[in-house]
Amino acid sequence: MQKVKKKEPTALETLKDLISRNREFDIIDLFSDMHPADIADLIDELEEEDRLHLFSLLDVDKASDVILELSDTSREQLIEDLSNEKLTDIIEEMDSDDKADIIAELSDDQAKAVLEAIEPEESQEVQELLKYADDTAGGIMQSELVSVRKDATINDAFQAVADAKDEIENIHNIFVVDETDKLIGTVPLQSIITTKRFTPILDIIDEDIPSVLHDMDQEEVARLFKKYDLVSIGVVDNQQRLLGRITIDDVVDAIQEETSEDIYRIAGLGEDDTVFNNTTESVKKRLPWLYLNLITALASVLVIGFFEETIKLMVALVFFMPVVAGLGGNAGSQTLTLIVRGMALGEITFENAKRALFRQIAVGIANGIAVGIVIGIIAYFWKGIPILGLILGLAMIISIFTGTLVGALIPLALKRLKLDPALGSHIFLTAFTDAFGFLTFLGLATIFLKIFHL
Amino acid sequence: MQKVKKKEPTALETLKDLISRNREFDIIDLFSDMHPADIADLIDELEEEDRLHLFSLLDVDKASDVILELSDTSREQLIEDLSNEKLTDIIEEMDSDDKADIIAELSDDQAKAVLEAIEPEESQEVQELLKYADDTAGGIMQSELVSVRKDATINDAFQAVADAKDEIENIHNIFVVDETDKLIGTVPLQSIITTKRFTPILDIIDEDIPSVLHDMDQEEVARLFKKYDLVSIGVVDNQQRLLGRITIDDVVDAIQEETSEDIYRIAGLGEDDTVFNNTTESVKKRLPWLYLNLITALASVLVIGFFEETIKLMVALVFFMPVVAGLGGNAGSQTLTLIVRGMALGEITFENAKRALFRQIAVGIANGIAVGIVIGIIAYFWKGIPILGLILGLAMIISIFTGTLVGALIPLALKRLKLDPALGSHIFLTAFTDAFGFLTFLGLATIFLKIFHL
């Protein structure tokens, strides 16, 4: 990576220099040798006013690759500024899945204009794809694929690949269908190369390779790719008719997207938040979560309010309140994170969840006792109040145990309710562990202080 | 997925039934039609004592595929129980990268025995691979690949693929090297199929496709795959000599592994923790983080201790302490999560970090004011103490602003120190936001109470 890292800033500096000197031909020359993904990285780094200018220097073919690789922010801005004609030319160069994705990002007027301007056949194809939900197999599939009938020979398969040469990239498999277009199986290119030319394709077909229904969640699709080490998969309708294919590059994007979503939800963030959003957007996205946090935090205010008298009796209790709540929260967040991630990876299902839950209960008890004893002793020696050590130790055991248990239960319950398990975010977990921690700690203190008439 | 989901429990029930009736031949029959990954899933679900028995029913070829797909826990257990001879037979069937991975998991005695028992050439190949660190390009590459010299024709390339037929799976590209084995470029199978047989390979070679150095971090490798939509990449030494190749399936595994590591580190968890670990293991892995948390939490105890007199003057302050600390912590964790994830995806670099940081400062101020005003008003009306509302509102603004800023600074600073940005976990962040939140809130209270002689 040293190579790339040292080169990129230089390319950016060169580019900025060329822009300042208005050397358009040199810029075109610089771009001509570069990969679209690298050009996109450069354009992303420029000031907003330079982006459209630079982008307009690209020929249509390259522009169509580059626009797909831009960051969401720069792409949105470019799309707003481009004329409908230019946009149509660029979109016509794309694969069907990318066409659909971009058109979905357009304003209603732009989308209508583009769909009317591109070829009718393509327009219909895209409108078919746009029917599928974003995060399903249909939403990430493309219509471009190579298929042959089941009575074809290897030679026919060769011919089919040759025919598709200019139209379709990334051919890894050939799909085999029957006369009603039902998917029967797939043949990797590797097998075609190593088989005699007039062998029937049915002789080398792999019928075990799974296909997916168009409405399968993209997370499930990703799991299948990972489980069976696939590079592409056929997408079928309810009659097993072949609709399109999903390639691994789109699956990798889907994995990253789903993972970010999980991580962001755990932390209480909107899914499309980034640190480069402008301030108003970021505030709009994060403030609702903070207000939610504020409401849940008021539970703690209420709980502590009950114990005003106890606190007045022993102010030293206040010093340790955050310790009880904080450790309960962190123990819970350890478990919650493990369960949410395990579910995302498909390792935790309802079948084995009970085993997971029992283990978490045991871990909660053990960790609770281990931390409780230590903090009890610390508090005793530090403040010289034996009863404080006892109360704190006991409260800590209960708090860590409960935190661990609730950290496991929240995502399992959400999943059972068919909600996203990651929604059981830190905000809800810590609201609970805070309020419950204070209740246990101050409650125990009230009882003990009464018993010992302090 | 309905199909698979409904089938799996049934297969497990069938299997358990067959085990209880000791129907070995039926089990062999059941397994013969199944994909190794599905067999592995079933074995994972069984009781420990049944796993070895079932596994021993598989022929060597299938056993070698299945063992790679098992969960870490079941694989460890199986490896312990298998004889060195059986283990050697199974390992001999694997690709070089899998061989190296499994041998790295063996005890020293087992590894030595297996390396001595497999063919000398293979043994040397594996020992070469074992030299590379786990999380580098060398650590995830395999030696099996198809390459031709630069003076080859398409026909030679066909022959090379045919020769590799039984040895190498997942051929997507052919690597082209010069006489000193230096990598010159790659040719996708698709191009070979669509080009005339006696064309020189150099005519269709793609020299733009990047290769990676053996010591590149696997996270960087994954980013290249994603950026350039690759399915395989050549790995070279410092002289650009071809050492092996990395295929997309290993990259997907690497992405999942690195992401889990990030998520776990943010939450204060060891990387290989799972909810299925036995209790002792889990406690061993999580307790150190909780003790660390305990130590950092003592900072808050100290801070609050300074303000004993202030608290005695106005016990109502205690009610709102967790609100100030909690919201500062959550605002910080929003930013921290965005930055850590952005870095993992390669979207945040040092070049654009300053822009990100300035935006976070603005967001911190805006969110702080928005929440501060609301909580100030709530506190005033709830407790009827105007000064409490003022103190709380101001403290909240400072606390949310600081939390947001520190949430951004921690991962950036760690990255600058060449440490994992995710290590700036919630534990450190909340230790800071807690202590600082209490300091601001109680400090302001002390000052205001003095000024107004309360």
Residues of B in contact with A283 (CB under 8 A): 363, 366-367, 370
Contact B161 A274 (CB under 8 A): no
Does A240 lie at the interface with B, CB-CB under 8 angstroms?
no
Q: Label residue B188 left, alpha or beta by phi (over 0 means left) and psi (-120 to 50 means alpha).
A: beta
Does B397 lie at the interface with A, CB-CB under 8 angstroms?
no
Contact A294 B323 (CB under 8 A): yes
Q: What is the DSSP string of B50-82?
A: HHHHHHHTS-HHHHHHHHHHS-HHHHHHHHHHS
Residues of A in contact with B330 (CB under 8 A): 268, 289-290, 293, 426-427, 430
B91 and B50 share a domain? Answer: yes
Q: How many CB atoms lie within 10 A of CB A291?
A: 16
- The answer to the question of residue A255 being in a domain is yes
Q: Which residue of B has its CA nearest to A146?
A: B190
Enter the tokens of residue A259: 């993972």
Residues of A in contact with B225 (CB under 8 A): 252
- The answer to the question of residue A138 being in a domain is no
Does B172 lie at the interface with A, CB-CB under 8 angstroms?
yes
Does A389 lie at the interface with B, CB-CB under 8 angstroms?
no
Residues of B in contact with A259 (CB under 8 A): 259
- The answer to the question of residue A122 being in a domain is yes
Q: Among partner residues A208, A363, A426, which is closest to B282 by beta-carbon distance?
A: A363
- The residue from A265, A288, A318 where one domain ends is A265
A258 and A307 share a domain? Answer: no
Contact B339 A275 (CB under 8 A): yes
* pLDDT (0 to 100) of residue A424: 63
User: What do you get for the CA distance between the two ends of chain B, in Å?
Assistant: 67
B196 and B344 share a domain? Answer: no
- The residue from B132, B162, B179 where one domain ends is B132
Beta pairing, strands A242-247 & A232-236 = antiparallel
Provide the shortest C-alpha distance from residue B162 to chain A (in Å): 5
Mutation test of the interface with chain B: which of A363, A412, A427, choosing the one with the most B Cβ atoms within 10 A? A363
Contact B283 A194 (CB under 8 A): no
Query: How far is residue B454 from each of residues A86, A135, B94, B441, B451, measured CA to CA in Å?
Result: 71, 59, 78, 16, 8
- The answer to the question of residue A186 being in a domain is yes
> Hey, is B229 helix, strand or coil?
coil
User: Over the stretch B29-48, which tens digit does the pLDDT of each residue have?
Assistant: 888 888 888 899 888 888 88
Count CA within 13 A, CB hemisphere, residue A132: 28
- The answer to the question of residue B140 being in a domain is no
Residue type for position B131:
K
Query: How far is residue B26 from each of residues B14, B48, B52, B60, measured CA to CA in Å?
Result: 10, 21, 17, 18
CATH of the domain at A335: 1.10.357.20
User: Over the stretch A117-142, which tens digit does the pLDDT of each residue have?
Assistant: 988 888 888 888 999 998 899 999 99
Outline where A194-247 has alpha helix (H): 218-228
B251 and B347 share a domain? Answer: no
A109 and A154 share a domain? Answer: no
Residues of B in contact with A210 (CB under 8 A): 4
Q: What's the maximum distance between 2 C-alpha atoms anywhere in chain B?
A: 97
Residue type for position B402:
T
Mutation test of the interface with chain B: which of A319, A369, A412, choosing the one with the most B Cβ atoms within 10 A? A319
Q: Which residues, numbered 48 to 77 in chain B, qualify as contacts with chain A under a Cβ-Cβ cut-off of 8 Å?
A: 69, 71
Provide the shortest C-alpha distance from residue A162 to chain B (in Å): 5
Does B428 lie at the interface with A, CB-CB under 8 angstroms?
no
- The answer to the question of residue A393 being in a domain is yes
DSSP state of B397: H
A379 and A346 share a domain? Answer: yes
Q: What is the pLDDT along chain A (454 residues), one digit of tens a residue?
A: 344 444 445 788 888 888 888 888 888 888 888 888 889 988 888 888 888 888 888 888 899 999 999 888 888 888 888 888 889 999 988 988 899 989 988 888 888 998 999 888 888 888 889 999 988 999 999 989 999 999 999 999 999 999 988 888 889 999 999 999 999 999 999 999 889 889 999 999 987 778 999 999 998 999 899 888 899 999 999 999 999 999 999 999 899 888 888 888 888 887 677 777 778 888 888 888 889 888 988 999 999 999 999 999 888 999 999 999 999 999 999 899 889 888 888 888 877 888 888 888 899 999 999 999 999 999 998 888 888 999 999 999 999 999 999 999 999 888 888 888 887 677 889 889 999 999 999 999 999 988 887 6
Q: How far apart are CA B410 and CA B281, in angstroms?
A: 30
- The answer to the question of residue B23 being in a domain is yes
Contact A322 B322 (CB under 8 A): yes
A36 and A160 share a domain? Answer: no
CATH of the domain at A9: 1.25.60.10
- The answer to the question of residue A139 being in a domain is no
Does A374 lie at the interface with B, CB-CB under 8 angstroms?
yes
Contact A264 B352 (CB under 8 A): no
* B68 in Cβ contact with A229 (< 8 Å): no
* pLDDT (0 to 100) of residue B454: 61
Residues of B in contact with A352 (CB under 8 A): 45, 276
B99 and B13 share a domain? Answer: yes
Mutation test of the interface with chain A: which of B334, B367, B377, choosing the one with the most A Cβ atoms within 10 A? B334
Provide the shortest C-alpha distance from residue A140 to chain B (in Å): 15
How many contacts, defined by CB atoms under 8 Å, are there between A and B?
A: 326
Q: What is the pLDDT along chain B (454 residues), one digit of tens a residue?
A: 344 444 445 788 888 888 888 888 888 888 888 888 889 988 888 888 888 888 888 888 899 999 999 888 888 888 888 888 889 999 998 988 899 989 988 888 888 999 999 888 888 888 889 999 988 999 999 999 999 999 999 999 999 999 988 788 889 999 999 999 999 999 999 999 889 889 999 999 987 778 999 999 998 999 899 888 899 999 999 999 999 999 999 999 899 888 888 888 888 887 677 777 778 888 888 888 889 888 988 999 999 999 999 999 888 999 999 999 999 999 999 899 889 888 888 888 877 888 888 888 999 999 999 999 999 999 998 888 888 999 999 999 999 999 999 999 999 888 888 888 887 677 889 889 999 999 999 999 999 988 887 6
Q: Considering only CA atoms, which of A289, A317, A271, A245 is closest in space to residue A427?
A: A289
B253 and B302 share a domain? Answer: no
Does A351 lie at the interface with B, CB-CB under 8 angstroms?
yes
Contact A287 B370 (CB under 8 A): yes
Contact A400 B216 (CB under 8 A): no
* A145 in Cβ contact with A245 (< 8 Å): yes
Q: What percent of chain B has pLDDT over 70?
A: 97
Q: Which residue of B has its CA nearest to A334?
A: B267
B255 and B338 share a domain? Answer: no
Q: Give the count of domains, chain A.
A: 3
CATH of the domain at A217: 3.10.580.10
Residues of A in contact with B161 (CB under 8 A): 190, 193-194
* A408 in Cβ contact with A336 (< 8 Å): yes
* pLDDT (0 to 100) of residue B167: 83
In terms of residue numbers, what domain contains A301? 279-451
- The residue from A132, A161, A193 where one domain ends is A132
* B334 in Cβ contact with B450 (< 8 Å): no
* B409 in Cβ contact with B273 (< 8 Å): no
Q: Which residue of A has its CA nearest to B320?
A: A301
B120 and B208 share a domain? Answer: no
A256 and A392 share a domain? Answer: no
Give the containing element (helix H, strand E) for B101. helix B96-105
Q: Which residues, numbered 313 to 332 in chain A, qualify as contacts with chain B under a Cβ-Cβ cut-off of 8 Å?
A: 315, 318-323, 325-327, 330-331
User: Over the stretch B126-152, which tens digit does the pLDDT of each residue have?
Assistant: 888 999 998 899 999 999 999 999 999
